[in-house]
Amino acid sequence: MAGDEDVPIFSSSRFFLQLSLMWPLKNEQPKWFYLRLAVFAVLLYLTITLSIGVHIVKSLQEGGIDISEDLAFFATSICLALMMILYALKQRDLLALMLDLCNFAQFGKPPQFDSVNKTLEFWVKFIFAYCIFGAVFYNLVKIIEIPQCRRSRKIPGTCGSLIQLWTPFDPDDGVTASLIVLYVFLIALIMVKVTLMVSVQVLEISWNIKLRIDQLKSMLLGCFDDDVVASRRRLNHCIQYHIDIISYSERFNECFTNGMFVHLATTGLVCGCLENQIVKEHQLEAILHIFGWIGSIFVSCLGGQLLMDSVPLDKFSSFLLLIDLQSTSIADAAYGSKWYQADVRTRKDLILMILRSQKPLFVATGPFNVMCLALFVSIMKMSYSVLTLLN
């Protein structure tokens, strides 16, 4: 099977996912890739997730302690670990899909392919920079607040790290505290970009499928300009392209549906907890954290929406997407062609293509919903419900 070097697109997102242990290194054997990811997941659960869980239990036993920050990090660590595992299990299928999206031998390169992917590469790098800045800023704030943390805490816990952890030993020892802060910060650098990078890859793949849908529409509009034989040949070509696009969408859905379900199930809870921190404590670092989660779920919902709607890239770049979102379809392009010049058999085949085109392509979030902008609004409503519950 061909490797990463044969995929000219998605290079930045694949590289950043390598930094999160979710994409194999060059020429790395699958067994070593899965082994190092498994070791990291076990260490994460044993050292971070369990420590947060114990801290939450002791906070509840003490009473009068706001546990929203602990709940947010506890849900985050579980979500990120599950997403890492689910993504890694589908990595080979995902690479095969990427290779097919770069194959233009049969239908040619879609218009604006290079410019669109160049723009997407810019946004991937921007999002990665935001993730790193957020993690560094969050940790610096916690380090500055060490004296305040030690005065106000009611139960033993680490101060100065991104997350307050319960430890069975003295967390205020200078060497021990420094090692804990460094360890948690390194873990955060690996994991902080997981949801955003996976979400961005959803957007990248969906936009590349959308480019092929737009190309198919252009082919359909000029399908019946010549004689009957040439028109029939062009329609067969379009039908085959349509079948390939449907196949791309189905494989795309299989690669991401379980991970997106975990993302969906967690985001509302995490955002609600972070909103509670912002309302009660006015924490600037919580604002950076919540923007990351809102951005990741918005990007993935946008990617799902693109499979159902056609949106010009300049509207995305100018952030007018929600205002000017307008749907067009393959069926509309087929009906807008000069089908009336074709013979009866060709018209019947075109009708079948139109009927299939009316069934939208989508990315599912498990068995319950699909990724779209309406789902994004529902998740934001859910986060508000969590906020009211915590208050």
Three-state DSSP string of 304-372: HHHCCCCCCHHHHHCCCCCCCCCCCCHHHHHHHCCHHHCCHHHHHHHHHHHHHHCCCCCCEECCCEECC
Q: Is 26 helix (H, G, I), strand (E, B) or coil?
A: coil
Identify the segments of the chain with pLDDT beneath 70.
1-5, 282, 309-328
pLDDT in tens, 276-296: 888 887 677 788 888 989 999
Helix-, strand-, coil-residue percentages of the chain, each rounded to 5: 75, 0, 25
Is residue 112 within 8 A of residue 50, CB to CB? The reply is no
Q: Could you identify the residue written with the tokens 């793949």? A: 205
Task: Return the sign of the alpha-carbon dihedral for residues 293, 297, 302, 303.
Answer: positive
Inter-residue contact 221 to 333 (CB < 8 Å): yes
What confidence score (pLDDT) does residue 357 get? 84
pLDDT tens-digit series, residues 43-92: 777 788 888 888 888 888 887 777 888 888 888 888 888 898 899 999 99
Tokens describing residue 15 = 């590289």
Q: What is the per-residue pLDDT for 311?
A: 39
Predicted local confidence at residue 9, as pLDDT: 86
Give the pLDDT score at 315: 41
* Complete DSSP assignment for 173-231: SHHHHHHHHHHHHHHHHHHTTHHHHHHHHHHHHHHHHHHHHHHHHHHHHTTTSS-HHHH
Q: What is the pLDDT, as a whole number, of residue 328?
A: 47
Summarize pLDDT for 130-139 with one digit per residue, the tens.
Answer: 989 988 888 8
Residues 6+ apart with CB under 8 A from 133: 288
**Residues 111, 214: contact at Cβ < 8 Å?**
yes
